[in-house]
Structure 1
C-alpha cells in the first residue's frame, strides 16, 4: 500500500514539474528550441540570476529600512530637548543641546560606517539581516539614554550609555566582518589580510570606549561629553586603516606579480 502511495506522489510531483516547465516555456519561448540539457542549464542560470536580483532588492530595502530607523532616532533625540523655563533654565537647555549634539555625532558616525559596510556587497544573507536588526535595535536605545543623560546626568546614566555604545560598536564590527567574509569567498588570503586590520581597528576602538566610559562614570557631570571622542576616533581610524589596507594590498599584489 505504501509503495503505491509513494508511486502516486512521485507521479504527481513529476506532473507538477512538467506543468511548471510548460508554463516557464510559454513565458520564455526561446528556451523551447534548445535541447533538454541546454534547457536545464539555461533554466538553472535564469533562476540564479532572478535569485541574485531578489537579494539585491532585499539589500536595498534593508539599507532603506535602517536609514528610516536612524532618521527617527535623531528626530526623537531632538524632541527630547526641554524648552528653557526662564533665564534660570537656559543653562539646562544649552546642556541638553550639547548632549543631543554628542548623540547626533555618535549616531551619524554609525550611519556613515553602516553605509560603508553595505557598499561592499550587493547581496545580503539571512545572517546579515538578523545582525543588522540587532544593530538597529541597539541603536534605537540611544534616544532613551540621551534623555537619561539630559534629565539626570549621573554615574549610572554614563555607565549605561557607555555599555550600549560598546555593544553597538561590537555589533557593527560583527556586521562588517560577516559582509566582508561573504564577499571574500574564494579569496582566503585577502580575507586573512583584511581580518588582521579589522582586529586592530576593533581592539583600539574598544579600548578607547572603555577608558572614556570609566572617566564618564567617575565624572558624570562632564564625562558624557567625552563620548563624542569615540565616533570621531572611530571615523578617522577607519578611514586611515582603509587607506592603509588599500595601499598595503596593492603593494602586496605588485610584489607578487614581480616575483
Structure 2
C-alpha cells in the first residue's frame, strides 16, 4: 500500500462537496503499491508508448526496455501515492493569509480536476495509469502560483511534470499543455478583479465540482488577444540512455531529462 494514508486538512471549506469527493477518490489511492503494481503500469507504458523505447538496443521488446519501463512505473506510482500529500498541501496553503483570491482559485481549479469525471485520461486505467494527468495538473497548479509561498518546489515540479508526461499519449500532450496554461491564465486573469468576484468563482467550484474539463468559471471574459502559454512545453520523448536505473530521456524540443540512480531528476 502507499506509504502514507490520506490525512485531510480541516479548513473551513472541507465540509463542501468538492472536498468530500476528493476524500472519497483519494481513499482508492491507498490501495496502490508501487513495487507490486509496477509490472502492470509498465505494460501500459510499453503498449501505449513504444516510441519511448525505440532508441534502446532491441527496441520496445527488449529486456532493457522492460527494465526501463519498470523503473519509470515505480517512480510514477510513487508520485500517484503522493497525491494525498500534494492535496493536503494545496488545501493547507489556501488558508495562508498571504495567498490572494486568484492564487486560491488556481489551486481549487487544480483540485477540481482531480474529481472531474471527464478529464483528459480515464481514471480507471490499470495500476493507476489514469491518475498521471491528475498528478501533472496538481503540480501545475502549484507551479503557476509558486511565487506566492516561495519557490521551494519550482524545479521539482518542472522536472516531475516532464517525467510524468512520458506516460501521456502523444495526441494528448497539447491538451495537457493547455491545462497547464489554464492555471497560468487564471492567475493572470484574476489579478485586476475584485476579490469578491474571484471568491464567487471559488465557491462555485467547491459547491458544484465540474464533471467536464475545462471547468466553466464564473469570471468576466478576459481581453481578446491575451494569450497565455503553458509554463512548460511538452513534446514526445525517447529514452537515449538506460543503464541500471539511470535514464536519460530526450524530447523532440531538445530538452534532456535525467533520472539518476537515486531516483532524483535533473535536466541534462
Give the TM-score, by structure 1 length.
0.34
Higher RCO (CA < 8 A, seq sep 6+): 2
Question: Which structure would you say has the larger Rg?
Answer: 1
Higher strand share: 2
Give the TM-score, by structure 2 length.
0.33
Higher helix share: 1
